[in-house]
Amino acid sequence: MRLTILTSILVLSLAAIAQDKPADYPPAAEPPENAGEKPAEKAAEPPAGALESVVIGEGEKTVRFTVDTAQAPDLAGWTKEQLIPVIKEWYPKIVEMLPGKDFKAPGSFSIVFDNKYEGVAATMGTRVVCNPAWYRTELKREALGSVVHELVHVVQQYGGRRGVPVWITEGLADYIRWYLYEPQSKGCEIPAHAAGRVKHDMSYRISANFLNWVIAHHEKDLLREMNAALREGRYSPALWTERTKKDLETLGADWKKFLEGKKA
Ligand SMILES: [Zn+2]
């Protein structure tokens, strides 16, 4: 299963599809005790799955999105009460965070809970697919954050541009998710004893931790600058040196020293 997912990630990322799995590191907290348990008795009236259509903002800033739970009616209540409010708040925030020259973020997108999809979630252009089986077990843990991660991909729109390193694409998405949307989760912490085993380009949470360190210590506008360069097809490793006066390898090594220094 894991291998299949990893293989799909490699294959699909070549096709400019961001297909996500939960990051391997650090390990997620234990699920709450009753996670995944089915209610003892079937509810008399199971909630109907639905296609929710939502409009936010107005004028040029109008954004329309749909959330489709037709295949997963049991997720309809959660979608309405928790997911949609998070999207309404965070999509416009992410759009503000990731501007670009002559760029207008997608004014519409869709989120589909699809039983045939076996990964966790993936974004293809402006279509996000989510695996209902995974979401059911994560409603109290990673479910909302993982959709925020996918919303970043909707705004990134790096497409199939050459030279866009996947670790930065995913690192930025996890940076926004873990450090800005849910900092209280501390989902990217790397303990000093693990510093020897990580590298800045290991993607997802590890790269998010690295990006957070660069932002805190070298370049507060990194998120904006890096995003614009990637979207406009002008990213090159030299950008790190331009923005921080240190090349990427040196930054990576300094970051590891910083992680180890926490040992004290
Ligand atoms: Zn992703």
Confidence of residue 20 (pLDDT cuts 50, 70, 90): confident
Q: How far, in Å, CA of 36 to CA of 138, rounded? A: 8
- Kindly tell me if the per-residue pLDDT of 157 is higher than 90: yes
Peptide bond into 26 cis (omega under 30): yes
250 Ramachandran zone, left/alpha/beta (phi>0; psi -120 to 50): alpha
Class in CATH terms, 48-157: alpha beta
Average pLDDT, stretch 42-62? 80
More confident residue, 32 or 216: 216
pTM score: 0.83
Which run of H or of E encompasses 10?
A: helix 2-14
pLDDT tens digits for 197-216? 999 999 999 999 999 999 99
Average pLDDT, stretch 24-53? 55
Give the pLDDT of residue 162. Answer: 78
In 3D space, the residue among 85, 253, 255, 231 whose CA is nearest the CA of residue 163 turns out to be 231
Give the pLDDT of residue 163. Answer: 85
CA of 239 to the centre of ligand 1 (A): 22
The two tokens of residue 130 are 């989510």
Give the pLDDT of residue 16. Answer: 46
Q: How far, in Å, CA of 109 to CA of 65, rounded? A: 5
Please answer whether residues 29 and 141 qualify as being in contact, where contact means their C-beta atoms are separated by less than 8 angstroms: yes
CA of 77 to the centre of ligand 1 (A): 25
Average pLDDT, stretch 117-141? 97
Confidence of residue 263 (pLDDT cuts 50, 70, 90): very low
**What are the domain boundaries of the chain?**
48-157, 161-264
CA of 44 to the centre of ligand 1 (A): 38
CA of 150 to the centre of ligand 1 (A): 6
More confident residue, 48 or 75: 75
The two tokens of residue 169 are 């694409």
Annotate 18-67 with DSSP letters as a single string.
EEE---SSSPPPPPPTTTTPPPSS--SSPPPP-EEEEEES-GGG-EEEEE
CA of 149 to the centre of ligand 1 (A): 6
CA of 42 to the centre of ligand 1 (A): 35
Angle between helices 222-231 and 84-97 in degrees, nearest 10? 80
Give the pLDDT of residue 46. Answer: 52
CA of 173 to the centre of ligand 1 (A): 6
CA of 203 to the centre of ligand 1 (A): 9
Beta bridge partners of 64: 55, 108
Confidence of residue 30 (pLDDT cuts 50, 70, 90): very low
CA of 122 to the centre of ligand 1 (A): 7
Average pLDDT, stretch 115-129? 97
